[in-house]
Each structure stands twice: as structure tokens, then as C-alpha cells.
């Protein structure tokens, strides 16, 4: 059972000292959670946990965002029209939107580690089966299920990592884990480059086994690997304390202590939460759901919830709306600029206006021989984008102690870059500014860290998942707007994005100081 500690202040400092001395004698071995976590130390276990969480986010990123390259590779075999390809590519967002709330609830009531194990294993099975899908409809259904399951990583991973690492490294570790999302494009682009260079075709029952099916299977493997790796980790001790399993929490902390190289007996015998009250969790009921979500939209949490949700909306609609169609943007730029050059005073958007929009289908004639065709320039550009953002995010993570200032600076620079993309009068410099604008992705980890540090334990998984619902709804709607606007209204889209990001910088200025912790 959780031990909630509250002490009555004495009328004088001498009384306080006497009470403290008596407490140390009577309650020897009883510690607050943060103090017990510090006693468990920082070492090998934390490094292994960081690596595992990094791989979880990487596997999720490949599963969700790597579908675009699978769709491109499978378009001929599955006889896809552009509309069908669009529906298929949107399945990950639909899966995330549907399951974000349930995963937040389960993470807060059944455990971070348990949710991750079940979700990653199920996602692996679904993603692997999708490599055998005979039609685009079945492929879409399986990828919807796969992404719905793997999306659990967006809340449970950060909660698990944040609650098992001390305050000294917590924010930096969560930013490092977020950098995994920056690395995933390079990984699946490289996989696509290597596998799609193969030339084979085997008939098996009703299927034509070709390289894109092998690519789909290979991209599913990380999900299975992380599901297995999670068995070696402990459940979040803070979650265990919060749901009344304090004995298990002490055992988990003792194991962390031993793995970190602690000598002798672990001094903690009893652990309690420093928070002033304990919310009702752990029971599947409508009241439990209401108990978790209602306080997020009531004082004192209402203001920070609305602020973080708006910041999430701004960052994701501005970044993902363009990032999702980034291969197309790269392709249009390289092909149009190389073949036509830039006229006098022509800017970045002029290349898209001259290119126009091709509304034809990608369906091939029945007797057409499907060939593996992914443009090399698209692959190398995607790899460069992913790797450079990974390095940049890793560097930024070293400034985790200045999250608020970091967020404001990044958003102001990104807004200025977006406004200047089409004002340079030269496409190449416009592309560089467009790249700078995409650094809004660096704020993803900062927002995720605020969801952990500004909320009590039993609300963290829920508020993070609701935040991801806002993020994916923003990305889903923004993508449809941007993809239709790039050819005819490119400048307006960029100016609009610039203004929106600037409002995000203003919202970031209202965030509490970095020293505020929820406990």
C-alpha cells in the first residue's frame, strides 16, 4: 500500500529539527520516491533503459512513417491509383488517432512496461502479416492495426524513461530518445535502397513474392526485437507506488540499484510519493476514465493543458504537413531544377508552379512488367535529412536545462525561414531555408518532456496520448491542405505556416520555468 506522508509544521524551527530527527529514527528506511530513485543510482541500468526506449521509438517510427516508401514500392504490384495510395498512406495516422486515448488509459492503469510489451508484439505480428497482403485493402487494414498498436510507444515510453531516471538526466534522456524519430528516415531509406535493388519474383499460392514484400518484413523486425528486449526491464517503480504496489516498487528500485553497481543492501525499505494526494487508478470503469481525464481540463491543470495542446497543434501541423510529402518535394525540386533550371528572379515555389500537378493514376496495364523504381536522389536526400536532424537533436538535448528558451528560439528561427523561402529569388537557397523551417521537429521532444514534468504521475500517460491525438489530427488535416496547395498556392502555404509557428513561439513564452516539476 502506498504510504502518503504529510507533516504538520511546528511553530518554531527547533520543533522542525526535532521532528526531522524523530522521523529519521522512527521511519528509517522510508524514503520519498525521488530520493529513493537517487539512492538507486545512475549507471548501467539507466543506459540500457535509454537504449531500449530509443529502439522502441525507432521501431515505432519505422512502422508508422516508413509506410510511405512501402506504398511507393508496391504501387505497381497492387495496381494502386493515386487516391488509393493516399488512403493507404494515411492509415498510420488513423490508427494513432483511434488508439491514443485507450493507450493513455492503459498506460496509467496497467503499467508502462506491460503496455509496451503487448503493443510492440502485436504490432510486429500485424506488420509482418502485411507483407503477405494480396490486396491494398487488406494491406491498409493490417497497417492500420499495426500503427494503432505501435502508437502506444508515444506515451508509455516517455513515462517509463522519465520515471526511472533521476531529475538530473531526465529531460536530456527524453530529448535523446526523441532524436530516434529523426534517425528513422535514414534507416528505412537505406533499407529500401538495398532491398529494392534486388531483382526477384516468385509465385507462391496467390502471391507474387517481390522485393517490396521483403522490405515490409524487414521493416517489421525492430518491433519484434524491442518486444523481446523489454522483458529484461523493470516496470516503472513510480507507477507501482502510485497504484498501491509499493513492495514491488521497492523490489524494482533494488534491482536498478544492483544493476547500477550498488554495493551492499539497498537502504530503501518503504517508498512513498511526495505528491499531496493520490488519484483513483487501476480499475476499469467509466469513473476511472473520468477521474483521469477531467482534472486535465480543470484548475489548476487547465491552463497548462490548453497551452501544451496548442503548442503541439502548431508544431505538428507546421512540420508533419510538409515532412510527410518531403520525398515528393525533393523529387520535384531535383527534377525540375535540373531539367529546366531557374529563370531570372525565380524562387523556390516557382519550380512547383511550373511543374503542375499530375492527377493521373499510377495503375499499370495488366501486361506491364512491374520494376523496382525508387529514385536514388530521393533516397539520398531522405537519408541526409534524417541523419542531420538526428545529430542536431542530439546536440540540442545537451541544452535540456533551457527547454523554454530553446523552444522559443527554434520556433522564431523556423518562422523566419518559412517566410523567406520564396523571397530569395533563387531555388537552391530557398531549399536551404525550407530545411531550416523543418527544424520545428526539434520541439517534439521538448513538448513530450513537458507532458511528463508538468503533470502528476497518474495523468502523464493520458495527457501525452491526448496530446498525440491533437498532433496526429493536426498532421492528418494539414497534409491534405498542404499537398493540394504546393503547386498553386505554395507561397501562401509557407507564409501561413510562418505565421502559425510564430504564434507557437508566443505560446512557448507562456510556459512555466524549467525548474517546475510535477513530482
252 in the same domain as 314: no
Q: Is residue 12 part of a domain?
A: no
176 in the same domain as 57: yes
Q: Is residue 115 part of a domain?
A: yes
Distances (CA, A) of 114 to 44, 183, 222, 235, 427: 22, 26, 18, 8, 50
Higher pLDDT, 276 or 34: 34
Q: Is residue 11 part of a domain?
A: no
37 in the same domain as 168: yes
Q: Is residue 103 part of a domain?
A: yes
pLDDT tens for 409-430 read 999 999 999 999 988 877 888 8
Query: From the CB of residue 482, how many other CB atoms can be counted at a distance below 10 Å?
Result: 24
pLDDT tens for 231-279 read 889 999 988 988 888 899 999 999 999 999 888 888 988 888 865 434 4
462 in the same domain as 318: yes
Q: Are 517 and 453 in contact (CB under 8 A)?
A: yes
pLDDT(21) > 90: no
- What's the confidence (pLDDT) of residue 366? 43
257 in the same domain as 140: yes
Specify the number of domains making up the chain: 2
Helix residue spans in 41-90 (DSSP H): 44-65, 67-74, 82-89
To the nearest 10°, the Cα dihedral for 166, 172, 173, 179? 170
Q: Is residue 18 part of a domain?
A: no
pLDDT(24) > 90: no
Q: Sign of the C-alpha dihedral, residues 481, 486, 489, 494?
A: positive
CATH number for position 111: 1.20.1250.20
- What's the confidence (pLDDT) of residue 370? 67
311 in the same domain as 245: no
199 in the same domain as 74: yes
pLDDT(93) > 50: yes
- Quote the domain boundaries for residue 463: 295-355+374-519
The mean of the pLDDT values for the chain is 79
Nearest to 103 by CA among 61, 156, 162: 156
314 in the same domain as 250: no
Task: Over range 330-356, report the average pLDDT.
Answer: 64
344 in the same domain as 248: no
- The DSSP output letter for 344 is T
Task: Over range 46-75, report the average pLDDT.
Answer: 89
231 in the same domain as 310: no
Among the three residues 222, 243, 276, which one is the final residue of a domain in this structure?
A: 276
- What's the confidence (pLDDT) of residue 326? 72
pLDDT(451) > 50: yes
242 in the same domain as 109: yes
Amino acid at each position: 500500500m502506498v504510504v502518503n506522508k504529510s507533516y504538520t509544521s511546528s511553530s518554531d524551527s527547533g520543533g522542525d529539527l526535532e521532528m526531522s530527527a524523530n522521523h529519521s529514527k522512527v521511519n528509517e528506511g522510508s524514503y520519498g520516491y525521488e530520493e529513493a530513485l537517487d539512492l538507486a543510482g545512475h549507471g548501467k541500468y539507466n543506459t540500457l533503459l535509454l537504449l531500449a526506449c530509443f529502439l522502441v521509438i525507432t521501431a515505432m517510427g519505422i512502422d508508422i512513417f516508413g509506410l510511405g516508401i512501402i506504398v511507393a514500392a508496391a504501387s505497381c504490384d497492387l495496381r494502386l491509383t493515386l487516391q488509393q495510395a493516399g488512403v493507404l498512406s494515411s492509415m498510420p495516422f488513423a490508427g494513432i488517432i483511434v488508439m491514443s486515448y485507450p493507450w493513455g488509459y492503459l498506460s496509467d492503469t496497467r503499467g508502462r512496461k506491460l503496455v509496451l510489451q503487448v503493443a510492440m508484439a502485436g504490432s510486429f505480428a500485424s506488420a509482418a502479416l502485411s507483407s503477405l497482403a494480396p490486396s491494398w485493402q487488406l494491406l491498409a487494414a493490417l497497417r492500420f492495426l499495426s500503427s494503432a498498436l505501435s502508437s502506444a510507444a508515444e506515451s508509455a515510453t516517455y513515462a517509463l524513461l522519465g520515471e526511472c531516471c533521476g531529475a538530473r538526466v531526465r529531460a536530456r534522456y527524453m530529448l535523446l530518445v526523441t532524436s530516434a524519430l529523426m534517425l528513422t528516415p535514414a534507416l528505412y531509406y537505406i533499407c529500401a535502397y538495398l532491398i529494392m535493388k534486388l531483382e526477384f519474383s516468385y509465385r507462391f499460392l496467390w502471391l507474387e513474392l517481390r522485393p517490396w514484400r521483403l522490405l515490409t518484413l524487414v521493416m517489421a523486425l525492430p518491433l519484434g526485437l524491442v518486444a523481446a528486449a523489454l522483458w529484461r526491464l523493470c516496470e516503472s517503480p513510480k507507477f507501482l507506488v502510485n497504484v498501491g504496489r509499493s513492495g514491488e516498487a521497492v523490489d524494482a528500485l533494488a534491482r536498478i540499484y544492483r544493476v547500477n553497481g550498488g554495493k551492499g543492501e539497498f537502504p530503501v525499505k518503504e517508498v512513498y510519493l511526495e505528491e499531496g494526494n493520490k488519484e483513483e487508478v487501476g480499475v476499469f470503469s467509466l469513473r476511472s476514465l473520468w477521474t483521469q481525464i477531467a482534472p486535465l481540463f480543470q484548475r489548476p491543470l487547465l491552463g497548462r493543458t490548453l497551452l501544451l495542446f496548442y503548442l503541439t497543434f502548431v508544431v505538428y501541423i507546421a512540420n508533419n504537413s510538409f515532412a510527410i510529402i518531403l520525398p515528393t518535394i525533393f523529387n520535384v525540386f531535383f527534377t525540375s531544377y535540373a531539367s529546366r533550371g531557374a529563370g531570372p528572379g525565380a524562387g523556390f515555389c516557382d519550380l512547383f508552379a511550373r511543374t503542375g500537378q499530375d492527377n493521373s493514376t499510377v495503375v499499370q496495364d495488366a501486361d506491364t512488367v512491374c520494376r523496382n523504381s525508387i529514385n536514388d536522389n530521393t533516397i539520398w536526400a531522405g537519408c541526409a535529412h534524417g541523419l542531420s536532424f538526428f545529430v542536431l537533436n542530439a546536440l540540442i538535448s545537451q541544452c535540456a536545462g533551457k527547454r523554454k528558451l530553446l523552444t522559443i528560439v527554434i520556433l522564431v528561427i523556423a518562422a523566419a525561414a518559412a517566410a523567406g523561402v520564396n523571397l530569395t529569388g533563387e531555388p537552391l537557397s530557398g531549399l536551404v531555408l525550407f530545411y531550416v523551417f523543418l527544424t520545428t521537429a526539434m520541439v517534439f521532444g521538448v513538448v513530450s518532456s513537458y507532458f511528463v514534468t508538468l503533470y502528476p504521475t497518474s495523468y502523464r500517460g493520458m495527457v501525452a496520448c491526448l496530446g498525440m491525438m491533437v498532433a496526429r489530427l493536426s498532421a492528418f488535416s494539414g497534409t491534405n491542405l498542404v499537398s493540394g496547395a504546393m503547386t498553386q498556392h505554395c507561397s501562401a502555404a509557407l507564409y501561413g505556416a510562418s505565421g502559425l509557428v510564430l504564434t507557437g513561439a508566443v505560446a512557448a513564452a507562456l510556459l512555466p520555468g524549467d525548474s517546475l516539476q510535477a513530482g
